Structure 1
Amino acid sequence: MRLILVSNRLPVTPQGKPTIGGLATGLSRFLDHWKKSGNESLWVGWPGPIDSEDGKSELEKKLRTEHNAIPVFIKQKLFDQFYNGFCNDTLWPLFHYFTSLTQITRDSFESYKEVNQIYADKVAGIYEDGDWIWVHDYHLMLLPAILRKKFPKAKISFFLHIPFPTFEIFRFLSTQIRSSILQGLLGSDLIGFHTQLYTQYFLRSVLRILGIENNFGIIPVEGRSVIAGSYPMGIDYNRFSDFANTAACKRKTFKIKTDKMKIILSVDRLDYSKGVLQRLVAFDLFLKQNPEWREKCKFILIIVPSRTGIRSYSEMKRAIDEKVGLINGDYGNLNWSPIIYQYKGFSFEDLVSYYNASDTILVTPFRDGMNLIAKEFIASQTETNGILILSETAGASSELGEAILVNPNDVQEIADGIRIALTMPEAERQKRNSFLKKRIHKYNINYWASEILKDTNKSISNKTYSKTTTLQKDDWKKIISDCNSKAKTIFFLDYDGTLRELQRKPEDAYPTEEILNLLQTLAKEDKFEIVIISGRTKTFLESYFNELPIHLIAEHGVWWKQPNENWVSQFQSQSLWKEEIKHLLDEYEARVPGSFVEEKDFSLVWHYRNADPEAGLKYSKELLDELFQISVNSGFIVLPGSKIIEIREFGTGKGRIVNVFLESKNDVSVIAIGDDTTDEEMFQSLPESSITIKVGLGDSFAKYRLAHPEEVRDFLKMFV
């Protein structure tokens, strides 16, 4: 299998040197394993700024040949608007809960869309059937949907390496932007997050913003099933552990520990989400409250430069520099500096040696997707058995419960954590690290990637709608041609959600001029017979369609009105069940603000489209449970639909009436189109030769699927 891995940045520079970053480092180990397993891979991403436009083709050839890398060239001004604009001024602070730092502009989002399209075009140029496309991180959240449109059957995974925020935070984005992001992600077969919490936040946003429910993390999207799940990213455990046990590492460790002091370590890149200044304040408090530890410990602060050209980051570094100077000035002397400050990147060998030498490490970001430093530190422990102090708001905290978990906003808690770590008995240190090592060793980088691939394949193979295929425009002419070979074509058309888009209030879903003209044009043709078969009342249908020469069937088959005729009942009943059920539905109407009860001659409907999505979903399940328990031998059936629950007289239904309608028809083609549960009876009852079409999402007995009512209208226009 060939993997096309897509991320914002390539793992190599234009000069072929490795780039620094957790994603590039972590995935490089996985790709080594991938290659050894006999697979191929290509990595698509931005190579960094290019000094000259000349030589791009040669650079592209060199990167592909030597590094399996496909560069995406983006003009510098556009890249700045995309990366420094929408990515890092909007998404990064918002997803890390820094709402005061979040800047939202439509121009930067337009640049974000444009760059995602550029990436899609680049992937399209190399894609082959059977490839696995794996898109990474917040820079490319629109990409899966663009690729899905180009390649409907492609295998696409997406993984978000930063937190996904709560709905209350996510909706800071404008309606257009937040909807576009969610729809973009839903182009994937699988959407992966580091923790279950992030997954639940995402699913809640999908429900509340797009109105799409999920079943245990499986989301129905245009005839596909999308899996949203948690996949905590691992590390190459053996790489860290093996080097930590080498003689070279032990020599480096010995040099770091020559003064025999206890070492408190902090390693992070410069970023406001990491809480570095808070750590310094906490260390200051620790020294103040525990004077016995002065000259017996040292704080090694390693900060990797990041986004050095951005003013806020420069100001942050200045504040850190000043705090380091104050602490060293307040507590230090000629023989002891409390803080050893290093503002630079470190090699893998040096970093593991510092991990191995330290008695504890502070990993206390305000918010973090995962934080692999915590796992690298544990994997690097040998004799020292250093203790991990970890922020409870880092993604890693859900896995690493044996660490000392602290609130990153509480400097007293962090200071207490330092004291507990430095005074912890050796047996306790060994016990904690033993559990952590086993877990990190098992759930390593290869396990993480293999689980994502496995569930991506599961999402594709377990398509719940495999019998219903999307009706492509290329198929429309063939259907029309087949219909023309018959004496007449009969159209059974549902109304709400099929001819007309669903509205929050049913009374607002009146037929547009476009719909009326379309039906009028079709009905004029002698070879067409039009039947609107709806759950609507006969009063509604007659008020809008009475002047058209078409058949009207109301309440799912209870009433039938032929052109220029009166309504005729197809069913007789006392409706003895209605009074009891109406009382129950009235209770739910009172309980759920925005919901309401609609009463028809032979049915009752509880609508919850206008209710709070979560409340509506919760109480609809509760109501269904109650109704199913009392429906046996009670004269009615229960039909859950699109934001409705319909209770209908037993024996009514579209399936029965379409058979009655077709009894005397010969040499006809039948086309039936509907979007709801009630239409499934019609699809099942019609002759096998019928063209049955499901509109929108969900399981169906229909042969084909169209996405929305606009497509239905376009399809019908082709007949005239």
Structure 2
Amino acid sequence: MALIIGVTMVSVVSSWYQVRTEKDALRFDLERKAETFGESLAANAESYLQNGDKPGLESMIERFSNRDHLVGIGIYDTEFFPLAVSPDLSTVVPAIPQALKEAILHNRPETIYTRVHFKRLYILAAPLHAINNGVAGGMIVVYDTGYIRAQIFRVWGQAFVHIAGQVLVIVAITLLIVRWSLAGPIARAAQWMKTLRTDRHAAPPTAKDLDFLQPLAREVAPLAESMRQARAAAEIEARLRNTNESLWTAQRLADHVRTKLDGSNLFVVSNREPYIHNRQGNEITVTVPASGLVTAIEPILCACEGTWIAQGSGSADRETVDSRDRLQVPPDNPKYTLRRVWLSEKEEEGYYYGFANEGLWPLCHMAHTRPIFRASDWEDYNTVNARFADALAEEIAEEEHPVVLIQDYHFALLPRMVKDRIPHARVAIFWHIPWPNPEAFSICPWQQELLDGLLGADIIGFHVQAHCNNFLSTVDRVLEARVDWEHFAVRRRNHWSAVLPFPISVDFLEAENISPDNDTADERSALIAELGIGTTFLGVGVDRMDYTKGIIERFLAVESFLERHPRYQGKFTFVQIGAPTRSRIPRYADFQKEVENEANRINERFRRGKWRPIVLLNRQHSHEEVRRYYRVAHLCMVTSLHDGMNLVAKEYVAAREDERGVLILSLFTGAARDLRDAIIVNPYDTEATGEAIAQALEMDISEVVDRMQRMRRSVKEHNIYWWAGSLIGDLCDLRLGRDMVSKTTPNETRRAN
């Protein structure tokens, strides 16, 4: 309709201009013709007038009165007495025209367009001169201009016919476009919705189809995804009921935590935010960082309409929040609040890159990198923790029974700050990295302050019991506090803190529902072709470029394997996916160069034609890209020198729906406690690790399947939702202000869940 109106308006304006041009042309032609005729007529009339020849005037008027569109001619003296007039002129122009009076008065020709008795006329009036050039009288020549109006009406008629034709053509073309270009996509989208409603699997319409329906697509796509997830969750729950399994799902987690919270709200604090807004040109894009934490926590926050407090790190983050630095997320279906906290560049440098990652990270990881502690970094760490405490206090201000879950080593001081401000809050902190022994931790100049900050929490969670023991030993040695080894708890400042293991995991259900388009062999062949390496066997490692991950030790193990088993030269390639990280810290920048140099050295030593033993992919990869490598690799190597858990091991197991593949796992990871059917290695012993590669490649297929089945069962039963449900459930079950910690032991806690 808008197109039709627009084209019509343009056509009308164009037609009006055409009509105006035609009218001006006809008038100009009439005026030119009247002027020429008037000059000739005036010369003759002056001759008759000077001679007093009135019959001659009448004869002249009679002779010239038959011209086209001429109404009549009139000759008058200076008193406006008619000397000779056309017969019909007096009926058309009964009075002396004002133009004649002006012409005689001013001694010059005058013209005028006028309307007399509904008749449109053009009048030319001119003075007539005597022999002495004095004015002796005047003359009028009167034309009927009705023909001009008639011609204008004809032009308008033609224009309207043309406009009507254009409108009909546009309507016809539009209907054809709708029929050919829109009806098909709309029909396919409708069919898609119908199959969703009737519980049959169907692929969504193509992006090209949805381009025509962008507003609708933006709403329908999330709705379809929600329906798919809800149906998948319902199918899983039904299957679990049929098999009498008690598997944790996102829905079960949400229901469990909603019951445990009993109307209270959950507040999550982390350094990394779940949604990042960045500006790209004139558009703002939203990205979700690859994080198991988002997978685990978001269903809970959606269920209880909670709040997630995190640092705003995106280039467009400030543009998307309200006056209180809040916004509702997820973007497609808002269910909880994201509160952003802003840091200056100096604060981020000192708090995150300095104290947290040059100090606490190497302190807690026994990877033989010297921790760096600066007083200025410690000040920034205090400042940022206090700022998060203030933001949390603002959000909790009206809450009667708030539940707070703090994430990781960036916020060791925050639990005490929160308890000091809000004593009735239930506070838990989960420490995602290892906790070292007391001797190692004593390196930190501010060990007492860090421990006291952590002991503000009601629950302090680690991945494994060994880290809990190290923490309790550190508290026992450093602080004046009562350590209850029987119940794994600490009492300080008349407050009990439970110290419990909660081994984190991955979303096994999500991985299980992914069906590869091709079988493993075909997919492996396609991937090898893309890499252009001409190999038979594939190994994979997935890590951030971090010195704690044992990447160089892994490469040395590959080198040792190829030395001791030369038959695999030209047949085995190890693909290392290494995401750059913390490159602003010198040790990390240096380490990335060391990894690249080591990969190049080994490749130069063994390279044969297209084949090379190590492929280093030094960039960020999406979950989908990484899963592709997981699904096709004959083995996965996790050789961390020290790690809290290491989820790569569990991701690899979750991705192997074909129950193939062998996991080589460092004994210095928390995952080694859960995945006992992996080949456990000491990454510092590169020859033994190399032999583990040979063992994996030559392992009998039945043993491969048995090992993978048992590991998959472990990950399935203790997935990311089990972790979150255990941690938050235990926090909600604690009795605040008690004289004695709950008698539930960590082992009993795990059995109960």
The secondary structure found in structure 2 opposite 1:226 is strand
The secondary structure found in structure 1 opposite 2:269 is strand
Cross-structure match for 1:3? 266
Structure 2 distance, partners of 1:244, 1:196, is 36
Cα 1:115–1:171 change in 2 (3 A) is same
The secondary structure found in structure 1 opposite 2:286 is coil
Structure 2 distance, partners of 1:444, 1:53, is 35
Cross-structure match for 2:6? none
The secondary structure found in structure 2 opposite 1:302 is strand
Structure 1 distance, partners of 2:739, 2:712, is 40
Cα 1:308–1:104 change in 2 (3 A) is closer
Specify which of 496, 514, 518 is matched with residue 243 of structure 1. Answer: 514
Cα 1:307–1:465 change in 2 (3 A) is closer
Specify which of 452, 473, 491 is matched with residue 183 of structure 1. Answer: 452
Cα 1:462–1:433 change in 2 (3 A) is farther
Superposed displacement of residue 132, structure 1: 1.3
Matched, 1:40 2:305: yes
Specify which of 104, 116, 121 is matched with residue 390 of structure 2. Answer: 121
Cross-structure match for 1:151? 422
Does the CA-based 8 Å contact 1:361-1:388 persist in structure 2?
yes
The AA in structure 1 aligned to 2:426 is K
Q: Deviations over 1:347-403 (max 9, x none)?
A: 222211110101111100111111000000001113361111011001111111111
Counterparts of residues 216-231 of structure 1 (less than 5 Å): 216-231=487-502
Cross-structure match for 1:456? 731
Rg larger in structure: 2
Superposed displacement of residue 53, structure 1: 8.1
Q: Deviations over 1:159-194 (max 9, x none)?
A: 0000011111011112xx111111111111100000
Cross-structure match for 1:287? 562
The AA in structure 1 aligned to 2:343 is I
Does the CA-based 8 Å contact 2:570-2:608 persist in structure 1?
no
Structure 2 unpaired stretches of 5+: 1-263, 279-284, 742-753
Cross-structure match for 2:237? none
Cα 1:104–1:362 change in 2 (3 A) is same
Cross-structure match for 2:296? 30
The AA in structure 2 aligned to 1:181 is L
Counterparts of residues 416-455 of structure 1 (less than 5 Å): 416-455=691-730
Structure 1 distance, partners of 2:579, 2:624, is 16
Does the CA-based 8 Å contact 1:90-1:103 persist in structure 2?
yes
Counterparts of residues 76-87 of structure 1 (less than 5 Å): 76-87=345-356
Superposed displacement of residue 462, structure 1: 8.4
Cα 1:32–1:61 change in 2 (3 A) is closer
Does the CA-based 8 Å contact 1:244-1:381 persist in structure 2?
no
Structure 1 unpaired stretches of 5+: 467-720
Specify which of 367, 371, 392 is matched with residue 667 of structure 2. Answer: 392
Does the CA-based 8 Å contact 2:367-2:641 persist in structure 1?
no
Structure 2 distance, partners of 1:223, 1:211, is 12
Cα 1:250–1:242 change in 2 (3 A) is farther
Matched, 1:130 2:405: no
Does the CA-based 8 Å contact 1:278-1:409 persist in structure 2?
yes
Does the CA-based 8 Å contact 2:660-2:708 persist in structure 1?
yes
Cα 1:285–1:72 change in 2 (3 A) is same
Superposed displacement of residue 321, structure 1: 1.4
The secondary structure found in structure 2 opposite 1:460 is coil
The AA in structure 1 aligned to 2:350 is Q
Does the CA-based 8 Å contact 2:321-2:327 persist in structure 1?
no
Structure 2 distance, partners of 1:134, 1:378, is 28
Structure 1 distance, partners of 2:471, 2:326, is 39
Does the CA-based 8 Å contact 1:155-1:460 persist in structure 2?
no
Structure 1 distance, partners of 2:624, 2:432, is 25
Cα 1:51–1:27 change in 2 (3 A) is closer
Structure 1 residues 377-386 or 441-450, which shifts more?
377-386
Does the CA-based 8 Å contact 2:664-2:678 persist in structure 1?
yes
Cα 1:32–1:105 change in 2 (3 A) is closer
Structure with the larger helix share: 2
The secondary structure found in structure 1 opposite 2:608 is coil
Cα 1:133–1:261 change in 2 (3 A) is same
Superposed displacement of residue 74, structure 1: 1.1
Structure 1 residues 285-294 or 190-199, which shifts more?
285-294
The secondary structure found in structure 1 opposite 2:444 is coil
Does the CA-based 8 Å contact 1:96-1:165 persist in structure 2?
yes
Does the CA-based 8 Å contact 1:369-1:394 persist in structure 2?
yes
Does the CA-based 8 Å contact 2:412-2:453 persist in structure 1?
yes
Cα 1:190–1:358 change in 2 (3 A) is same
Cα 1:3–1:260 change in 2 (3 A) is same
Does the CA-based 8 Å contact 2:545-2:579 persist in structure 1?
yes
Q: Deviations over 1:217-238 (max 9, x none)?
A: 1222333322101010011001
Cross-structure match for 1:60? 325
Does the CA-based 8 Å contact 1:359-1:384 persist in structure 2?
no
Structure 2 distance, partners of 1:374, 1:110, is 37
Cα 1:208–1:391 change in 2 (3 A) is same
Structure 1 residues 65-74 or 407-416, which shifts more?
65-74
TM-score, normalised relative to structure 1? 0.61
Q: Deviations over 1:84-123 (max 9, x none)?
A: 1111111011100245421122221121111100000011
Counterparts of residues 330-479 of structure 1 (less than 5 Å): 330-383=605-658, 385-460=660-735, 463-464=738-739
Structure 1 residues 300-309 or 155-164, which shifts more?
300-309
Cross-structure match for 2:158? none
The AA in structure 1 aligned to 2:269 is V
The secondary structure found in structure 1 opposite 2:353 is helix
Cross-structure match for 1:94? 363
Q: Percent of pairs identical after alignment? A: 27
Cα 1:12–1:402 change in 2 (3 A) is same
Structure 1 distance, partners of 2:479, 2:458, is 18
Structure 2 distance, partners of 1:237, 1:107, is 43
Specify which of 575, 584, 602 is matched with residue 327 of structure 1. Answer: 602
Q: Deviations over 1:30-76 (max 9, x none)?
A: 2343256x322221111216589888756934466846311110111
Superposed displacement of residue 78, structure 1: 1.5
Matched, 1:12 2:275: yes
Cα 1:324–1:138 change in 2 (3 A) is same
Superposed displacement of residue 327, structure 1: 1.7
The secondary structure found in structure 2 opposite 1:383 is coil
Matched, 1:168 2:431: no
Superposed displacement of residue 441, structure 1: 0.2
Give the alignment's Cα RMSD to 1 decimal. 2.4
Structure 2 distance, partners of 1:445, 1:326, is 39
Structure 2 distance, partners of 1:195, 1:368, is 11
TM-score, normalised relative to structure 2? 0.58
Cα 1:289–1:41 change in 2 (3 A) is same
Counterparts of residues 253-332 of structure 1 (less than 5 Å): 253-256=524-527, 261-332=536-607
Counterparts of residues 313-712 of structure 1 (less than 5 Å): 313-383=588-658, 385-460=660-735, 463-464=738-739
Superposed displacement of residue 248, structure 1: 9.3
Structure 2 distance, partners of 1:441, 1:333, is 41
| Residue-pair matches, total | 460
Superposed displacement of residue 19, structure 1: 4.6
Cross-structure match for 1:207? 476
Cα 1:161–1:453 change in 2 (3 A) is same
